[in-house]
């Protein structure tokens, strides 16, 4: 069958934003047969030129392949695309790489199960240029059978890891790591604003901050051990010793919003006020965790 004609493909890919195009391109690069569809026309031109099969509709793409990969804007857009195709999806595998919350992933899995659709949820730990290159990772959860059967496709994109039968687990891990990443970036920018107030350029600050912060991540393991034990009584640094009030004051003196460090200080103070000042800094986990 000639390029541009749906049918007989290995994979149907719904959604051709930057990530969707990267996913399709990585498969085409190694000879996979891919049918593509996007709600907005025109985004498939380069992919069709490289051998993708253009589907005129989402249904046409779904009917073209036993495995349907979905990479759309959000949870609502997944339902918008798939709800009208429930009968066509029966018996097929759906790999959803759209960013969703854990509860949304579980809802989609339940929706799929009710309709005889096999569902695997994926969380992409990479940017579009990283797809197909070393260093990219995609986390999966849900139907492990789908994961095993589609590894030849999944491994073309990134390192593939199956996390759990709970369809929400991949999303949960993804968003938890992104939470850490964004708070780290915010903290870096807060520091850059502090030194910038005295005319120190951000690049100079970054050259100092990057190796220091990288070295500090070695303490993740020690903090994790304390959290898992629920025992913070053998601290490297106690909460009493970790008073961050001076950091808040320094931010204010520089005319910089102290919100990032004030947030941490409030969590620390909560544990100190509860009588845990001699415990390790990791105890602020107890100020955060779900009760």
Domains by residue range for the chain, with CATH: 11-165 (3.40.50.720), 173-288 (1.10.1040.10)
Q: How would DSSP label each residue in 188-232? A: HHHHHHHHHTTT--HHHHHHHHHHHHHHHTTHHHHHHHHHHHT--
**Cβ(279)–Cβ(271) under 8 Å?**
yes
Q: What is the pLDDT of residues 16-28, one digit of tens each?
A: 999 999 999 999 9
Q: How much is the mean pLDDT over the chain?
A: 94
Cα 10 to chain center, whole Å? 26
Distance in angstroms (rounded) separating the CA atoms of residues 89 and 180: 36
Which helix (H) or strand (E) covers residue 159, if one does? Answer: strand 159-164
Provide the percentage of residues in the chain whose pLDDT is more than 70: 97
Q: What is the pLDDT of residues 215-229, one digit of tens each?
A: 999 999 999 999 999
Give the pLDDT of residue 4.
41
Distance in angstroms (rounded) separating the CA atoms of residues 103 and 81: 19
Give the pLDDT of residue 7.
59
Residue the block writes with tokens 């989609």:
108
Maximum C-alpha span of the chain? 72
DSSP state of 55: P
State if pTM tops 0.85: yes
**Cβ(251)–Cβ(261) under 8 Å?**
yes
CA angle 139, 167, 9 (to 5 degrees): 70
Give the pLDDT of residue 5.
46
Give the pLDDT of residue 257.
97
Q: What is the pLDDT of residues 61-94, one digit of tens each?
A: 999 999 999 999 999 999 999 999 999 999 999 9
- Mean pLDDT (whole number) for 117-135: 96
- Please state, in angstroms and as integers, the Cα–Cα distance from residue 232 to each residue in 221, 224, 286, following that order: 13, 10, 10
Distance in angstroms (rounded) separating the CA atoms of residues 267 and 226: 17
- Mean pLDDT (whole number) for 111-138: 96
Give the pLDDT of residue 3.
40
Which helix (H) or strand (E) covers residue 94, if one does? Answer: strand 93-96
Helices (H), 99-168: 102-114, 144-149, 151-157
Give the pLDDT of residue 2.
35
Distance in angstroms (rounded) separating the CA atoms of residues 182 and 180: 6
Give the pLDDT of residue 6.
53
CA angle 146, 165, 143 (to 5 degrees): 15
- Mean pLDDT (whole number) for 80-109: 97
| Pairing relationship of beta strands 137-142 and 118-125 according to DSSP bridges | antiparallel
**Cβ(36)–Cβ(52) under 8 Å?**
yes
Distance in angstroms (rounded) separating the CA atoms of residues 85 and 223: 47
- Mean pLDDT (whole number) for 271-285: 96
Q: What is the pLDDT of residues 150-195, one digit of tens each?
A: 999 999 999 999 999 999 999 999 999 999 999 999 999 999 999 9
Does the structure show a pLDDT above 80 at 291? Answer: no
Give the pLDDT of residue 174.
97
**Cβ(100)–Cβ(169) under 8 Å?**
no
Which helix (H) or strand (E) covers residue 269, if one does? Answer: helix 259-273
Give the pLDDT of residue 206.
98
Packed helices 259-273 and 245-253: angle between N→C axes, nearest 10 degrees: 160
Give the pLDDT of residue 1.
35
């Amino acid at each position: 069958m000639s390029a541009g004609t749906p049918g007989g493909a290995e994979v149907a890919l719904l959604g051709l934003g930057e990530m969707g195009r990267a996913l399709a391109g990585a498969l085409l690069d190694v000879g996979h047969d891919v049918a593509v569809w996007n709600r907005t026309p025109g985004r498939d031109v380069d992919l069709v030129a490289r051998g993708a099969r253009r589907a005129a509709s989402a249904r046409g793409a779904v009917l073209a392949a036993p495995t349907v990969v979905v990479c759309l804007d959000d949870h609502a857009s997944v339902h918008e695309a798939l709800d009208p195709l429930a009968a066509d999806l029966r018996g097929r595998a759906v790999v959803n790489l759209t960013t969703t919350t854990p509860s949304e992933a579980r809802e989609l899995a339940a929706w799929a199960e009710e309709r005889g659709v096999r569902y695997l949820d994926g969380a992409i730990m990479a940017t579009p240029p990283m797809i197909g290159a070393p260093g990219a990772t995609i986390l999966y959860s849900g139907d492990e059978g789908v994961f095993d059967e589609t590894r030849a496709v999944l491994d073309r994109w990134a390192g593939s890891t199956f996390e759990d039968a709970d369809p929400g687990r991949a999303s949960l891990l993804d968003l938890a790591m992104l939470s850490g990443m964004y708070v780290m970036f915010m903290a870096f920018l807060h520091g850059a604003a502090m030194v910038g107030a005295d005319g120190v350029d951000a690049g100079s600050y970054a050259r100092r901050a990057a190796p220091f912060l990288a070295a500090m991540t070695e303490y993740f393991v020690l903090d994790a051990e304390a959290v898992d034990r629920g025992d913070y009584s053998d601290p490297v640094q106690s909460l009493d010793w970790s008073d961050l009030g001076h950091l808040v004051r320094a931010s204010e003196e520089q005319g910089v919003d102290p919100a990032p460090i004030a947030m941490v200080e409030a969590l620390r103070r909560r544990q100190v006020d509860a009588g845990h000042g001699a415990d390790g800094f990791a105890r602020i986990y107890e100020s955060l965790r779900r009760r």
